[in-house]
Amino acid sequence: MKNNIIYFEDLGLTDYQDAFKRQTELFEKTKQIKIDNKQLIKPHITDNYLLFTEHPHVYTLGKSGKMEHLLLSESEMLAKQVQFIPTNRGGDITYHGPGQIVAYPIIDLDNFDLEIISYMRTLEEIIIKTIAEFGLKGMRSEGETGVWLDVGKPQARKICAMGVKTSRWVTMHGLALNVDVDLDYFKHIIPCGIRHKGVTSLQAELQEKIDKNEVKNLILKHFEAAFDAKIKKASLR
């Protein structure tokens, strides 16, 4: 039996490592249920989760990332009050900070008949439809995960980065949509290891103040539609 309910919590501003610990707990719990189910005649249903958060300034490096894509020394990072944390997601280096909506789905893909590639395309579609509500045409860029503007043009720029980890078809990590984030922090890395392409935000594109709660509600709406799911608010601590 498949479960299309997704339990949701907005964690607010959360230290990256604290959010990572919370994700990992839910991820490992779900994985263990799937492992145990192999021994059961009547398997238990797995739950699905979605966490929203913002992080204090932090650079994170994925498993395939390169240290040379970080352009600051340790002392320079200390002066800018930005952390550096290697992590276990896919992808290269990225930045998280205030003004960025970070979404961490901990999803059993078997509940939604999705494979990893189709899951990533679904996440991209959610953001494409979300920013379309603000009049922006989000696009995919071949070979480059995430959501972009003006693909194929010299001014191509990324508005949403993505990186995930999966095990036994359970996901963690996710996406980061730039709303009104300080884009200067991206100047000190080679974002996602991609040279000569820019990074942007909703505020930079629209040149007006953006209501983050409105953006969050739109993401949730499109998340429900894309996954054919029911999102329920819950305390997941």
User: What does DSSP assign to residue 89?
Assistant: S
Contact yes or no for 46/3 (Cβ under 8 A) = yes
178 in helix, strand or coil?
strand
User: What does DSSP assign to residue 180?
Assistant: S
User: Residue 135, class by beta-carbon neighbours within 10 Å (0-12 exposed, 13-18 middle, 19+ buried)?
Assistant: exposed
Give, in degrees to the nearest 5, the angle at Cα 105 between 100 and 106. 145
Distance of alpha carbon 33 from alpha carbon 225, whole angstroms = 26
Q: Is 192 a catalytic residue?
A: yes
Exactly one of 26, 192, 218, 229 is catalytic; name it.
192
Distance of alpha carbon 134 from alpha carbon 215, whole angstroms = 9
Q: Which two tokens stand for residue 160?
A: 């949403």
Which residues are designated catalytic?
192
